[in-house]
Amino acid sequence: MKVTYLQNAAVIIENLGEKILCDPWLVDGCYYGSWHHYPKFDFEPKEFDDIDYIYISHIHLDHFDIKTLQQLKKDIPVFIHEFPHKYFKHSIEELGFKVEEIPNNKRTNLGKTWINIIAADNCNPEICSRVFGCNFDFNKFGTNQIDTFSVIDNNDQVIVNTNDCPYEIGQSTAKLIKEQYPKIDLLLAGYSGASDYPCSFDLEISEKEKEAKNKKDKRLQDAVDYIQIFDPKHYMPFAGRYVLGGKLTSLMKHKGEPTLDEGFNYLLENINQEKNKGIVLNIKSYFDLDTKQTSAPYIPENIQEREHYIQNVLSKLKFDYEEEPYPKLKSILDLIPKAYENFERRRQMINYSTDTNLLIKLENDELLSISGNGGGYKIINASQMNNMKKYLYLSLDLRLLLKILQGELKDHWVNASIGCHISWKRVPNIYDRSLVYCLYFFHN
């Protein structure tokens, strides 16, 4: 078997000529145009005509990229986890692909190769039928993850792909996979993440620097912990090599995400290389599991070239919605009643109440104030925020806000947040997961 690295989480796993393309985000500008590749990836669709299968781990746009999939051959079967809600499946089918859902933790034969897809929390939808996971407790939140691990093998060699599975949720599943596959030849290990905290939050610079460092250290330690559980012969850091473009380039310095080189060097320092050997690949180079060799020596990133590309190319780009006209405020206000109904229904469903107000910036000095305890909503002046002891404030481009409120799942609070298009302020600065969960349903 051999693994070819493309970009971010996109790799090709090949066995005896049978090729599986994993998580193909290869066209710049996902998340409404804010996420970009560096180094730049030159995508030539014809180079992928010999792909036999596509595996997509989950619905986030840096894994399920419509712009990339639109340019690939539609006769390639696509494999996904058997999620109870079918929006993901239907979205892929709308692009012209045939989708095969694989039940949780069912080793499935593709011909010459086997694939097994396991939800991050080992959720079995046949048992719980919940999209947010079997352990979902509405106040304690066991998980609301949609990420999946995958295991690809040929009855001899085994490759485990951690994708974006958070360690806090995925560690028990990782141990289960290790029990089922005692000998792991290669681990594709995530070392980064997609959170917009702290870069998109209203914090003092010193606090942002502290939180960004803590976040980076945590991501890197998670990679170490995964490697220690899986104990692979080889590991490869991947899934996190992106930069922000457009007006958001300035956020990169407080993103708290290590570069590939930082991630690899950290792992070299903290993992016994005689036991678990680290490899790192250039774009379109490969690692051969038979020969234990890479196709080319790795070339580290040039920091100056990276910054020059971000500042002189990516920063000048526009987001997708910036090409659209600004909406009239009435078109947004007309969507509020139904959105609030959905918010309130979800709040009551999880038996949640808070005296924290949810504040969404509208035009000029106007804010939409939403009660967290069933008190309804109203339009207030921004000056009234100064008298509130507890609130979650957010602002975003009205053009994007309109798209989210209209209720298309691809235009969703989650995608806007991951893309860093929302500016947040929390008073006090405490993450209220239940309130954010309810916000996700504030749309038509």
What is the pTM (predicted TM-score) of this model? 0.93
What does the pLDDT read at residue 140? 39
Q: Which residues contact 350 (CB under 8 A, 6 or more apart)?
A: 138, 139, 434, 437, 438
- Number of helices (H), then strands (E), belonging to the chain: the values are 13, 22
Q: What number of residues does the chain have?
A: 444
Residue 141: pLDDT over 70: no
**Mean pLDDT value of segment 141-155:** 76
Q: By percentage, how much of the chain surpasses pLDDT 70? A: 95
Pair of tokens at residue 205: 């610079």
Pair of tokens at residue 368: 């939409």
Q: In which element (H, E) is residue 370 found?
A: strand 366-370
**Mean pLDDT value of segment 168-194:** 94
Pair of tokens at residue 338: 């139904």
Q: Which residues contact 94 (CB under 8 A, 6 or more apart)?
A: none
Cα end-to-end span (Å), the chain:
47
DSSP E strand stretches across 120-204: 148-153, 158-161, 186-190
**Mean pLDDT value of segment 252-275:** 96
Cβ atoms 46, 59 nearer than 8 A:
no
Which one has a higher pLDDT value, 139 or 231?
A: 231
Q: How far is it, in rounded angstroms, from Cα 355 to Cα 347? A: 13
Residue extents of the structural domains in the chain = 2-316, 323-439
Other beta carbons within 10 Å of 275: 11
- The reply to whether 323-439 shares the fold of 2-316 is no
Q: How far is it, in rounded angstroms, from Cα 427 to Cα 191? A: 30
Cβ atoms 32, 400 nearer than 8 A:
yes
Of 295, 185, 178, nearest to 234 by C-alpha is: 185
Residue 263: pLDDT over 50: yes
What does the pLDDT read at residue 128? 35
Q: By percentage, how much of the chain surpasses pLDDT 90? A: 89
Cβ atoms 437, 143 nearer than 8 A:
no
**Mean pLDDT value of segment 249-270:** 96
Helix, coil or strand: residue 412: coil
Residue 133: pLDDT over 80: no
Residue 130: pLDDT over 70: no
For residue 123, name the pLDDT band (cuts at 50, 70, 90). low
State phi, psi for 422 to the nearest 5 degrees.
-110, 135
For residue 391, name the pLDDT band (cuts at 50, 70, 90). very high
Residue 131: pLDDT over 70: no
Residue 137: pLDDT over 80: no
**Mean pLDDT value of segment 345-357:** 95
Region 2-316: CATH code: 3.60.15.10
What does the pLDDT read at residue 172? 92
* CA 423 to chain CA centroid, nearest Å: 18
Which residues is 287 bridged to in the sheet?
A: 3, 294
Tokens 């104030």 -> residue: 369
Cβ atoms 188, 161 nearer than 8 A:
yes
Of 190, 223, 210, 309, nearest to 254 by C-alpha is: 210
What does the pLDDT read at residue 218? 94
Pair of tokens at residue 245: 């473009």
Tokens 């045939």 -> residue: 98
Q: Residue 338 has what DSSP assignment?
A: H
What does the pLDDT read at residue 431? 92
Quote the mean pLDDT of the chain: 93
Region 323-439: CATH code: 3.30.1050
Q: Residue 360 has what DSSP assignment?
A: E
Lowest-pLDDT range, 236-250, 279-293, 327-341, 405-419? 405-419
Give the type of residue at 159.
I
